[in-house]
Amino acid sequence: MTTRPIARDERTVATENASYRWAYLVLSFGLLLSVAYRGLVLGEAAWDLLALVVAGGAVAARYQGRHRVLSRPWVVASVGGALLAAIVAAALVLLRR
């Protein structure tokens, strides 16, 4: 019997997953800040960057939904957040006219 060191254990997987979460958050919020800066300061449309943020969230939600790990409070919070975002966006459009 050989005693090889264990290459991956639960702690390694948990640390990797946490690092992926932080990387996703930095990337998503960085893109959102870039979209806001382009829109408010430069007056440019940055729909392509905003679509990347939305697509990233949609991919994660779909994957988790397929594996049935989403809870009812998560779905309610997501739908509520989307509705609140739509209301704020509509208000901003009306105020900028």
pLDDT of 3 above 80? no
Residues 18 and 62 in one domain: yes
Residues 79 and 59 in one domain: no
**How many domains is the chain built from?**
2
pTM of the complete model: 0.62
The answer to whether 61 touches 70, Cβ cutoff 8 Å, is yes
Q: How far is CA 33 from CA 9, 14, 20, 26, 47, in A?
A: 36, 28, 20, 10, 13
Residue 1 included in any domain: no
Question: 71 or 7, which is more confident?
Answer: 71
Residues 30 and 46 in one domain: yes
Domain extent at residue 33: 9-66
Tell me the H-state helices in 1-97.
10-37, 47-66, 72-96
Mean pLDDT of 35-57: 87
The answer to whether 50 touches 35, Cβ cutoff 8 Å, is yes
Residue 37 included in any domain: yes
